[in-house]
Amino acid sequence: MKSITRREALAAAAGMAGAAVLGGTARSFGADAGTQPVVRAGSGISGPGSAASATGPVYLQRRRANSSAVGDGLIPNIKPVLDVHIRDTIIRPGGDGHYYLTGSTGDDIWKFNDGVEVWRSADLQNWTYLGVVWNTMKDGTWEKTPRDLHGKMVVTIWAPEIIYLKSKQTYFIPLSMAPSGISLLKSTSGKAEGPYVNCRADGTQLCGGIDATLLEDDDGKVYFTNAGTNRISLMKEDMSGFAETRAIQIADPDHTPAHHAAKCVARGMNDMGTEGGVLFKANGKYYYGAADTYEGRYSTCMGVADNIWGPYHQRFEAIPGAGGGCIFQDKAGNWWATFFGNDNQQPWREMPAIIKVEFAADGKIVVSKEQPAWNLFAS
């Protein structure tokens, strides 16, 4: 299919003003044959976007953000990898030498989006839009039922991830239906574009909560965590549920109120964070964390352990302002954190980006002082 610009997608959606948001006439667009993202009135997709400008400003411009995190030297002056509206950015290596990007997409994730959108890249710089690889109303079961979010009935996906599991030789998508409820999807083709089916034969949700993620360990075992990360589960072999679940402890919790959101302070500050669970392994260590409000920033806060079950130590702000994304290794061995800009200290808001990171001698994650030129705004 012919790829279209975001403006063309929105124009097409605007031309269908009579279509119902959850069930009206729809048109299909996409970059690759076999995928059929749906554009509805009100636009439930983010669309293909375009390359971000080297000098900025882009999409949401710099309004509502003052760049103080850049000015204070906490993060480099990164630019988005795409000029497109996405929250909760996730980028992971696939099983085919490409990288895959997804996140919370659509013009208003507090009301409606079409499903899970995916982009593909060979080099982290140039991205191809694969479209909506799983459509809630077309492919879902329980996910299609409107749910109450702050007094409004919504059908919207939050924080999907796309993860290739070597031991399963296919892609999985954990996703959250706002305000709570998690599904785990599996690609039946072994390809990132799907098609995807629910890992539970009866099509029911895997569990409650939001912001799910998976970790495949060196032995092929797969672990699950979500939300504020206070427990980890070992997945069953068929990925249909949990074989074991354990509560996770922080050996030395951070009891500084300025390092937590108000609701974390109220419950004692003994956890990693509030939402956006992160779990990965690097250099033989396990890293476990979540997004939290750290000195006014929506940051990724992490702990480190020698064992998947913990205990986890030295809770720290890993990437200032990065939120609950993910940390991944590229084909050259470099490590990156995803980023989307969710507070006013950042250089811009709600677009997909990455920051190169390193590991300090004590195991903590730090932002690398050396960032590639293609990842930065021109000075």
Measured CA to CA, the distance from residue 270 to residue 124 in angstroms comes to 36
Contact between 269 and 260 (Cβ < 8 Å) = yes
- Domain assignment of residue 374, yes or no: no
Residue 180 sits in a domain whose CATH number is 2.115.10.20
- Domain assignment of residue 1, yes or no: no
Measured CA to CA, the distance from residue 323 to residue 339 in angstroms comes to 7
- Domain assignment of residue 231, yes or no: yes
Based on the number of CB atoms within 10 Å of its own CB, is 54 exposed (0-12), middle (13-18) or buried (19 or more)?
A: exposed
- Domain assignment of residue 342, yes or no: yes
- Domain assignment of residue 376, yes or no: no
Measured CA to CA, the distance from residue 217 to residue 146 in angstroms comes to 36
- Domain assignment of residue 364, yes or no: yes
- Domain assignment of residue 379, yes or no: no
- Domain assignment of residue 378, yes or no: no
SS3 content of the chain, % helix, strand, coil (to 5): 10, 35, 55
Q: What angle do CA 125, 319, 89 make, to 5 degrees?
A: 45
* pLDDT recorded at residue 52: 75
Overall pTM surpassing 0.75 (yes/no): yes
* pLDDT recorded at residue 30: 27
Evaluate the CA torsion angle 103, 46, 132, 30 in order and state its sign: negative
Residue 132 bridge partners (DSSP): 117
pLDDT tens by residue, 340-364: 999 989 988 899 999 999 999 999 9
* First-to-final CA distance of the chain: 38
* pLDDT recorded at residue 27: 25
Q: What is the pLDDT along the chain (379 residues), one digit of tens a residue?
A: 333 333 333 333 333 222 222 222 222 222 332 333 333 445 689 999 888 766 655 554 444 578 899 999 999 999 999 988 899 999 999 999 999 999 999 988 999 999 999 999 999 999 999 999 999 999 999 999 999 999 999 999 999 999 999 999 999 999 999 999 999 999 999 999 999 999 999 999 999 999 999 999 999 999 999 988 789 999 999 999 999 999 999 999 999 999 999 999 999 999 999 999 999 999 999 999 999 999 999 999 999 999 999 999 999 999 999 998 999 999 999 999 999 999 989 988 899 999 999 999 999 999 999 999 999 988 6
pLDDT tens by residue, 125-170: 999 999 999 999 999 999 999 999 999 999 999 999 999 999 999 9
Asked if the bond preceding 195 is cis, omega within 30° of 0, the reply is yes
Overall number of domains in the chain: 1
Domain encompassing residue 85:
6-369
